[in-house]
A and B are shown apart, each in its own frame.
Chain A
Amino acid sequence: MTNEELKFNIEKHPINHAEDIEKEIDILFGNKIGAIYNFGKELLFDVSPDNLSEVLNILRNNPDLEFNVLAYIKKKPEKNLLLIGLLSYDKGITINIRVKNIIAERRIDYKSIIDSVKKYFKNAQYYSDRQYLKDTNRDAVILSQLPETLDTFDIYLSFEDNIINQAYLSNEISMFNQDILFKNSDINKIIAKINILSYKAAVFPELCFCLGIENLLSLKIPKRATYIRMLLCELFRISSHLSFIANTSLIIGNQNALNYTLTEKEKILNIIEIITGSRVIPNFIRIGGVKKDIDDSIIKMILKSLPGIFKNIRKIEDLFSSDIVILGKLKEIAYLNIKDARSFGLTGPNLRASGFRYDLRKDAGYLLYKDFSFTIPLGRYGDNLDRVIIRFKEIYQALKIINEIAKILPIGPVAKMMDHSAIVFEESPIISSVECPDGIFKLYIEIKPGSEIEIIPIGPVSNNMHACEQSLEGCNFDNLLTTISSFCIESPEMY
C-alpha cells in the first residue's frame, strides 16, 4: 500500500468514538452550544432555540456525523425545557440536545420548535399536536380497557372495506406527570419509588438511576454485585416477556398458552421474590452495589429450576409456531421492514424482529455483559409472528446468561460501604440508559443545588406506538388487536 493510499484510508475512516464526535461537534459549533457532557454512548449539550435549526441540520447532514434518526422529543412545559434525542444506529451513539433559553424567563415555543425539527426528521410529526386525528378517524373508536387486555390508549380508526386507512392511538388517558412523586426525596427514597416508571420490569429504572449516579461519582462496583444485578435484570426480562406472551395468547384466545405462561411466570416471580423479597417491586439496587447478598442454597435452587423452566417455555413456543389458529392470526401480518423500523427510532425486540441488530447490552457494554457469551436473536420479516418468536428467543438467551452467572458467581462484597448523606454532588445533568425488555429506557437526571434531584424518564413507549400506528395502515380490521398487542405497548407513558 502506498503512502497516499494509506493516508486516504485513514481519512476515510468513520469516526465512531464518543470522544471523537465530541471533538468534532466542538469544532463545528463552537460557542453556539453549551458545554458537552460525555457519558460513554450518550452525549448531552445545551442549545438555545434560535440556533437549534442550524445545529440539527449539521448533525443530520454532515457526512462525518450522520445522526439521521430522531429518537425522542420530551416536552417539559413546567420547567421550560425540551429534550431532543438524535440517534445514529451505526455508531451506536445518542446525542441528547437540551433546548434551554438563555434568558430564563422567556418561554420556549414548543410548536415552532417541533415545526423546525419536522423539516429534518419526518417522524417529528408524531410529537406535534395531533388532536385533529380524533375527528378525522371516527369510523371506529375503541376505548381503552374495554377488551380487557388493551391498556393505556384509545384507538381511533378510519377504514374502508375492512382495510384500515389510518389509525390513531391516543394515550393521553394514561399520561402521568411524575414530578409530584419525587418531590423532596433523597436518593434512597427515589430508589424505592422510581421502579413504578416501568413496572413490568421494575428493576430497570432502579438500575438506570444507580448507574447514572455511580457514573457521576465514578464509583467502581464490586464484581459480585454487578453479577447479581445482571441476574436480576435477566430474571425481570423473562418475566416481562412472559407477561407479553400471556397477553398475546389472551387476545388470540388460546387458554392453554395463557395458563402455561402464567405458571412459568409464577416460577420466575418466585425466584425474584427469594432474591429481593418482593414479587414486583424489588427495591434492591443501591448506589455502590446491591441491598443484600444471596447465599449458595439459593443459587443451587436457581440452577436446579432452570432446565424445567426452559423445557416448559419450549413447549409454549412449539404451540405458537405450530398451532394453525395462532399462526393464522400472526403470520405475514403487519410487516415492518428495517428501513421503516429505523426511521421510527425503534429499539428493543421490535427493532430486532425486523432484522436489525442493535442492543445496548452488546453495544454500550454497561454492567459486565461482555463476560458472557450470548447471541442477540434477530427476526427476518418483521411481521407479528417474528415479534412474538423473538421474545421467546430472548428468553432462552436470558436463561443462558442466568445459568452462566449462577455457575461463576465470584465471591466478594456486594456493596461499597458509603454514607449517602455525606456525598456532595456536583451540579450537573446526567443521562443514563439501559436496555429494558421493550426498548431503551433512559433517565435524564439533574442535580440541583441543595441535592434536590430532578428526573425525566424517557421510555420506549412513544416509538413503539408510532411504529404500531404506521404498520396498522393497510392492515385488515380483524388483525387489529393482535397487531397492537405484538408491539407490546403496555405501560403508561410518564413525562
Chain B
Amino acid sequence: MSISLIKSSFNIYVSGFGCCKQEIIASVGPVYDISRFGISIASYPEDADVLIIQGFLNRKYIKRLFEIYGAMKNPKWIVAYGRCAIENAFFESDDDLIKTFKEKINFDIYVPGCPPRPEAFIYAMLRLMEKT
C-alpha cells in the first residue's frame, strides 16, 4: 500500500539531552513511522550513518561527541536538530571547545524549530537522502 522511497537505508544515532529527543522518538512511533523510509535508530555509533546533534551539550559531552563521531564509519552525515544545536546555544559558551567543535563538525543539514515537529525531522531526512 505504502510506496517505498528507499534510496539507501539510514541508521541514525541520536546524541544529546534535550526536548528535541522526544520528537525524534515520536517520529519513530506508529503515527509518523519513519521506518517507512528505511530509517532506523542505531544503538551504537559504529552502526550509524547519520549523527543527530540536538539539545544541550556541556563541555564533557562535547568531548564525548568527538569520540562518537570518530567511531562512526564513513560516509557519515551530521544533522543539527533544533535551536540549541544550530546556533551553538550551549549553556557553556565562548570557549575554545566551541571553536574546535565548529571546525571539526560540519553540519550537513539544519532543522530549525524549538523543537521541530516530527514532520520536519522526516522532511530533513528525505532531503538528506536527496543530497546523497
Q: Which residues from chain A sit less than 8 Å from chain B, CB to CB?
A: 143, 145-148, 151-152, 172-178, 180-181, 196, 199-200, 202, 243, 246, 258-259, 262-263, 265-266, 269, 279-281, 491-492
Contact = CB atoms under 8 A, between A and B. Distances in A.
Given A145-B14, A243-B22, 5 more contacts: A143-B64, A146-B43, A178-B91, A280-B23, A280-B115
Interface in B23-53: 23, 25-26, 28-31, 41-44
Interface string B53-77: 0001010110010000000000000
A178 B19 CA distance: 15
B30 A174 contact: no
A492 B115 contact: no
A173 B31 contact: no
A259 B25 CA distance: 11
A246 B30 CA distance: 12
A266 B19 contact: no
B33 to A, nearest CB: 9
B43 A280 contact: no
B112 interface: no
B92 interface: yes
B25 to A, nearest CB: 7
B19 A172 contact: no
A176 B58 contact: yes
Contact of A148 (B19, B26, B43, B93): B43
Given A148-B43, A243-B22, A266 B31 contact: yes
Contacts of A146: 43-44
B19 A199 contact: yes
Given A151-B17, A279-B23, A175 B30 contact: no
A176 B25 contact: no
B58 A175 contact: yes
Contact of A263 (B25, B28, B31, B114): B31
B7 to A, nearest CB: 25
19 contacts: A148-B41, A148-B42, A148-B43, A151-B17, A152-B17, A173-B60, A174-B56, A174-B61, A175-B58, A176-B56, A176-B58, A176-B91, A196-B18, A200-B22, A259-B29, A265-B26, A281-B19, A281-B114, A492-B56
Contacts of A265: 26, 29
B29 to A, nearest CB: 3
A390 B114 CA distance: 31
Given A145-B15, A196-B19, A262 B30 contact: yes
Nearest to A490: B17
Nearest to A172: B60
Interface of B: 14-15, 17-19, 21-23, 25-26, 28-31, 41-44, 56, 58, 60-61, 64, 91-93, 114-115, 117
Given A173-B60, A178-B91, A279-B117, A199 B29 contact: no
A280 B22 contact: yes
Contacts of B26: 262, 265-266, 269
Contact of A180 (B22, B41, B44, B93): B93
Contact of B91 (A145, A148, A172, A180): A180
Contacts of A199: 18-19, 22
A152 B15 CA distance: 10
A421 B33 CA distance: 46
Contact of B31 (A200, A262, A491): A262
List 8 tightest A-B contacts by C-beta distance, closest first: A262-B29, A199-B19, A176-B91, A492-B17, A266-B31, A259-B30, A148-B43, A173-B60
A172 B60 CA distance: 8
A382 B29 CA distance: 30
B94 to A, nearest CB: 9
Given A146-B44, A173-B64, A199-B18, A263 B30 contact: yes
Contacts of B42: 148
Contacts of A174: 17, 56, 58, 61
